[in-house]
Structures are given as C-alpha cells and as structure tokens.
Chain A
Amino acid sequence: MTDTVARTAGPGTTEWETVIGLEVHTELRTATKLFCGCPNSFGDEPNTNICAVCMGLPGTLPVLNRTAVDYAMRIGAALHCRIQPSIFHRKNYFYPDQPKDYQISQYDIPINTDGWLELPDGKRIGIERAHMEEDTGKTTHFGGGGRIAGADHSLVDYNRAGVPLVEIVSRPDLRSAEEARAYVDELRAILVASGASDGKMEEGSLRVDANVSVRPVGSPTFGTRCEIKNMNSLRSLGRAIDYEVARQISLLEGGGTVEQETRHWDENTGRTSTMRSKEEAEDYRYFPEPDLVPLDPPQEWIALVSDGLPAMPADRRAKVAAAAGLAPDSDAVVTVVRLDLDPLVDAAVAAGVDAGLAVRRLANEVAASIESVPALDVDAFVSLLGMEGRGELTTAQARTVLRTLLADGGDPVAIAKSLGFEALGADALGQAVDAAIAGNPAEWERYVGGEDKLTGFFIGKIKAATGGNADLKEASALLRSRREAG
C-alpha cells in the first residue's frame, strides 16, 4: 500500500514516499477522573463535575485511579507492549484548559512501551508507547469565527479536566492516508474490545493527531515532519493527510523547505494552516510530579490483566476466516467481526452448519439490518442456515426468511411455510422437470437437438409449476442430465 506520487514537472522527476506516525488519545471509560472522584461523564451540564483537586485549589493532592491503571495496562497488553514501572511528570503551560497551569502526564518513563498492532492485511505497525495522562477542560472560542486566532474571548467547562486518557504513539510506519485510516479503525476496535474505551470519535473519546512527512523513494532518512491536529473523523484524517502530503511535495519541488510545525486542519476549507508562531517554541519544562509516587504494578496484576483480555479483532478474524475458508482481510470476514457477529459463526460451526454460508448471510442480510441483531435468535438463525444448506430452501427464499426473522423474529420453518416456501425435495423437483418435458414434446425435441436457449423456456415452466419453490440451478442441471441420458 505504499503511497507514491510520481511527478514529471519541475527540475527533476522525483517519486515521493509518504511517512506517517499517529498519536491517538483515548478517554478511558472509568466511573471517575484520573486523580479525583469527580464523575467521568460526557455531555453533562457545564462545570457540574468539578472538585477541589481537578480545579487545582491549593492544598489538594491527586490520588491515582486504580481502574484507570487497569485499563491502561489492558491497552498495553492488547498492543503487545512491555508494561513497566512508570512515573508521572508535570507538563507546564499557560492555557486556561487546566486550572493548575500544568497537565499531569507521563514523559520519559511511560507505563507501556514497545508494542505493535497488526492491520487486517497483515502489516505490523510499531507502537512506541502508550502512556497515561489527564484530559483538559473544554474551551469554546467566541468571535473570530470560533477559531482561537482572532477570538474575542473563550468560555471554559472543566467537566473534562482530569478525565483519564491513554495516548498511543505509533512509530512512523504508516505509508498512506489509507493505511492511517486502517490503523485508527483497527486501534479503535482493539480499544473497544479491551473494554478500556468506548472508541467514540464523535464524542471526542478518540482523538487523532498525525505526524506527516515526505521523502524521495529510497531515501534512508526521514523528511521534516508537520503535526496535524483537529481531525474529528476518519474521513477528515484521510483528507488532511492527502492535503498535507500534496502541500509538502509542492513546497519541496518548488525549491522550498518544510518547516517543522504544528498545523491545524480546517474541515470547511479542506486545508491545513500553521498554529503556532516560531517564537512560541514548545518548552513545557517537564519535571517529575512531586505529588504522586511511582507506579509499579506487581507481576500478578499485570498477568491478571493480560490473561483476562478477550479475543482481539485480529484473532477473531483469523478464526472466522479459517472456519469459512476465506482470507482474514476479506470484506465479509472484516464486516462480520467489526459488527461483533462472529459468535453467530461459532454457533453455526457448533451445529455443523456451513460456516461459509453463515458468513455470507451475516455480512449481507444481517449486516444490513444490524439494529435487529439483539433480537435475532441464534437457534433460529442456525436452523435457517441448515434448511438452506440441505437445499430445502433456495438462496433467494433463505434470504427472504432471514429478513422476516430479523424484522419479526419467529420460527424459520413456520415462516417458510407461511410464505409458501414448501420444501421441494429432489423427488418433487425431478417430477416437475419431467412434467415440463412431457407437456412440451416439440420444445424438448429442439432442446435435445442442441437449442440451448430453450433452457429458459423449461425453467420458466418449472418455476410456474412449483410456485417459485424450485432450486432453479438444480433444475437446469436436471434438464441437462435428462438430455444427456437421451
């Protein structure tokens, strides 16, 4: 999936390679904040979930949330990281989104380090670290079109200040906007499966920043990177990366250089623009947080977390793919696992029903009315697959029964009967074929004589005689075998 852009304009013909590393912030689904007992709750009235600790009042002390540590370790284990003793730092800055004027984060010794994530196509993306930190309050800017630059004033809601976050930093292993999107999609599925996060990008519980650079294909060194912020969907992530890559290539081909800087993605204009002036160079004066002692989870706790993880999406795709005889990154398999439908494949396998058939029905009819799935009875679904597998229902009939099953529930045998889908056994089908032949001797003579186009004529007769219950593929096969038998 290497994204190379061939250019013939300009002084030389250079093929460029895109290099992307992503920083993903995810909120943890704890009941309370990272260092105080305020509720961690999205969408509440402004400033109703605040206390002396998260408001940074003098004399207060932070105390670390045990469940947040548990969730952070789940993320580390799910991403194959080394879980290690860690400490917290203060990141100092002046900005009203933290009443304390610093954010408590992990700096040089994070809880999780050196892991990897495997994309559905099998490519492994390195994870440099996944560290804990507290979220900031929400600032809303007024005047200047809602942008911070030119804003007249801002209003601050501290409900989010102190909510536990894990920041997952990838290595610069991604090579295209498409790969970046696939990475975030897979990471989100892993976070949700681990139980640590709800993965809701639209509620801001998953936020993505992208470090983007370009280099001539084959270059051993990286180009200068820009950090892109403010992308709030997978779609805008892809658009922002494509825009930024084109901007950097155009700069370089015009003889310019890329400045290392943070750039802001504007969804409306479809462009990135610089956020900070160079004079405001980042200098956060990190130092160890004196109010928190080191975190050194005992091996028993780490083992408990690792062993307690449910199967991850990649393992589940591999299992479904093996059962159905499909590739793990095939659309049907990816869809079934993404929609958490694989337990239904397991049920089909356990009942001795064709898993490939189960995957096809799940990825199509069932996926199309996913909201009905909670009401779908597993036994009824498996029983329907059995009817189709044994040829008691045609594919079209099985689909119709499944749609009824999803909409209204019920027993597939009864539904098939009520729809007039009487089971048409091989004998009945053979009789219908023979009757069609006997009733149309002239046409049969011509068909036997080599007029293949008459197949349609006989199929029409059989379909009419059986009220649509015949497996027409099987009927064609029977016609051919009757002809060959003379």
Chain B
Amino acid sequence: MAPRITTAEVAHVARLARLALTESELETFTGQLAAVLDHAADVEALDTTGVPPTAHPLPLVNVLRDDVVAPVLDREEVLAQAPATEDHRFRVPRIIGEAP
C-alpha cells in the first residue's frame, strides 16, 4: 500500500506555509500527518448516506450585523507597530510573485 503522505508532499506543504523544516522534522511531521490522514480514512469508511455535510460545528446560520460604521483604530498607533512605514503606509520588502 502506498504511504498516506510522502516526505516530499510534506516538504511542499511546509514551503506553501513558509515553514523551514529540518530533515528530522520532516520525518516527524510526515509520521504525524499520516496518523491524521489515517483517522480521516476511518471516518471516510463510514456509511454517511442521509447525513447532511457539516459546514460548521455550531448549530447556527445567518450571524449578521447591521451596516453601521464603527470606530476605527488610530492610524499612527497602528503604524507604530509595523517594522517599517513610509508616507502613512506600511512599507514591505520587494515582493516575489503576484497577488491572486
């Protein structure tokens, strides 16, 4: 049987999440993620005919607010938290790739 997940796949997912993992960490997490996927496979094996898909654990829908303006944060206070700002905007390093 093919492994639930390969270290190459874990390395790919780690890269997408911008996580730098060592070789031994990759091994550890590959094992842990395989266990999680095993559990998902167990659930998948159940007969769920007639069971509606669960979108959320809470038995709630339509939690809405009225379209009314609320107080905003002080700009200078927010900008003061950032590593770099310029011209009342957040300054970020050179971006590789493009926005979706």
Interface residues of A (CB under 8 A from B): 30-32, 36-39, 45-52, 55, 63-69, 85, 87, 91-97, 103, 109, 136, 139-141, 148, 151-158, 262, 264, 275-277, 280, 282-285, 288, 290, 292-298
Contact = CB atoms under 8 A, between A and B. Distances in A.
Given A95-B100, A103-B100, A294 B61 contact: yes
23 contacts: A31-B68, A36-B70, A37-B65, A37-B68, A38-B72, A39-B69, A47-B90, A50-B75, A51-B73, A55-B73, A63-B65, A64-B63, A67-B67, A91-B100, A93-B100, A96-B92, A136-B99, A154-B94, A292-B63, A293-B58, A293-B60, A293-B61, A296-B61
Interface in B71-100: 71-73, 75, 78-79, 86-100
B98 A64 contact: no
Given A153-B91, A275-B98, A276-B98, 12 more contacts: A32-B69, A37-B71, A48-B75, A55-B73, A66-B67, A95-B95, A139-B99, A151-B94, A153-B93, A155-B90, A280-B96, A294-B55
B95 A154 contact: yes
Given A46-B89, A156-B92, A276 B62 contact: no
Which of B62, B70, B93 counts the most chain A CB atoms within 10 A? B62
B25 interface: no
A48 B69 CA distance: 13
Contacts of A262: 98
B69 A94 contact: no
Nearest to A157: B89
Contacts of A39: 69, 72
Interface residues of B, number: 39
B66 interface: yes
A47 B64 contact: no
B67 A31 contact: yes
Closest 3 CB pairs of A and B: A37-B70, A67-B67, A155-B89
A286 to B, nearest CB: 11
Given A155-B91, A295-B61, A95 B56 contact: no
B67 A284 contact: no
Contacts of B97: 95, 276-277, 280
Nearest to B98: A275
Nearest to B100: A93
Interface of B: 13, 16-18, 55-56, 58, 60-73, 75, 78-79, 86-100
B87 to A, nearest CB: 6
A155 B91 CA distance: 5
A154 B64 contact: no
A213 B9 CA distance: 32
Contacts of B16: 92, 283, 285
Given A47-B75, A55-B78, A155-B87, A148 B62 contact: no
Nearest to A94: B18
A283 B100 CA distance: 10
A284 B16 CA distance: 9
A282 B100 CA distance: 9
B87 A87 contact: no
B68 A156 contact: no
Contact of A66 (B61, B65, B75, B79): B65
Contacts of B99: 93, 95, 97, 136, 139
A52 to B, nearest CB: 7
Contacts of A155: 86-87, 89-92
A37 B66 CA distance: 9
Contacts of B92: 96, 139, 153-156
Nearest to A158: B90
Contacts of B89: 46-47, 140, 155-157
